[in-house]
Structure 1
Amino acid sequence: MSMPNDHELKQLEDEMRGPLSAYTVHPVTSGDTARLLQALQPAFDDMRHAVNAFPAAESKRVPYQPSLAKLMKAQLHAYPKMYWLAGLSVLVMLLLISSTFNNYSNYAIIGDMFALVLPATLLAGMLYSFRSQNREMRLVESITPYPPALLILCRMLLVVILTVVLGAIVSLYLLARLDRFPLLPFLLQWMSVLVLVGGITAYIMMRKGVKTAFACSCISWIAWNGSDLLNRSSGLLADDIQMTLQAAGLAAGLLLLRLAYRRSIGMKIAKAGS
């Protein structure tokens, strides 16, 4: 087969110029844009008149806020089975340890153990949740319809809720197993430090980043348990004062979680995930 010469190529080009000209796209000029805007101007005028006709309704319009419950439900799929199996293993461990106590008067000792183990479980779960906060994940999350910082906060709240559920199940087990078990003081003892650590983590994470938040939460966890053990051994504070401080810690943790949620809406990912 011989190669086509220049004459044949020119003849082929002339034959194809007609059929292919119908598929040629001409570049858009400024005149085309001006004509399009002029054609759409009546529609713009009608929209402006409709908005001006209802100023009161426009002033009362509430800006859209994402549904936290729906977003947390969607984020459940981000955790694999191994994460839930790890949570189940922590539950089994707490049940086995709690089964060794036969006297309700030792609830403070069990509470101290819960105040150590459950926040540690919370911090470990947070580390797992933040493992995907690399540059690629930030790019993916930046195109979601939700503020990216809110996605991170939802993952952290899921860890907090899971840890609270684990502690609540074991607390109900102790209530059913031991006579005259003081459920409310026991719940307040471990839940106060747990929620406080979670609130500190969420609030500082929204302002200073994940690493700083994790460091501050570890310090607060160690300081809380250290002061509690010191008071338990020395008896500096009465039980009523101790419960008041625990209630204040629980309220402060809930307030910090609320403030972190309000700040997360509309926040940029670069600041939350640094």
Structure 2
Amino acid sequence: MSLEGVRILNGPLTDAQEAIALVHALEVVDIYTASWGPEDKGNAIGGPGHLTRKAILKGVTQGRRGKGAIYVWAAGNGGAYLDNCNLDGYASSPFTVTVGALGPEGRSAFYSEHCAAVLASVYVGGPHYPPSKEDLEKERQKPKVVVPEGRGKCRQTFQGTSAAAPLAAGAIALLLQANPSLGWRDVQHIILNTCRIPSPEEHGWLWNAAGFHFHPKIGCGALDVDRMVASAIHWKPVGRLKTWKSPPVKGKK
């Protein structure tokens, strides 16, 4: 298992640059993870351009020798601004695994965005409500994700959905290691079938018509890597994506 970083957010960004990045080394890359998109201020709508949409489609149809590359995306950190990742065409794409953030108690982090596209969440830290000055000291004492920063140093605050997405990518890497034959849709189905509710007390949980528990900020729940890997070993493929289109319904004037 190896990692590679591609820097594209270093100045003006074009549709062509995004497209090239999202199929970079497609013949050897299994998982792409991205933590960028439209501005998280609650007043921006954006998504992939024509070339980038074609690149992602190429990734899920030709990547991993036809099984499909996995695209993991951060849900966004605009929760405090009431931003909604449904307005983010990258996170709301059916081809991406969109990941939210959880605090140490298992409740959604205040900055993690609300939308129907969130598939699951990962523990990275952060309070459920925006912290006051009095709460900041309490937050410093809570468990945190600590990561190496290079040059012998460590970062003690690895938070945000931008941190949750790469952690989820690591979990999915273990999934593919357990069963390399999984397709990109199998990965999504396994997540849905194995995630767990991290905090039943949090308001907003519901059961959808397909029988899955769902929360608009957490998705189906917290990733459970142990259950994911165990399920992957004997997983039966779900098959290729099928789409249906219906003609527009015209109302009376």
TM-score relative to the length of structure 1: 0.30
Q: Which has the larger radius of gyration?
A: 1
Name the one with the larger strand percent.
2
Relative contact order higher in (CA < 8 Å, ≥ 6 apart): 1
Name the one with the larger helix percent.
1
TM-score relative to the length of structure 2: 0.32
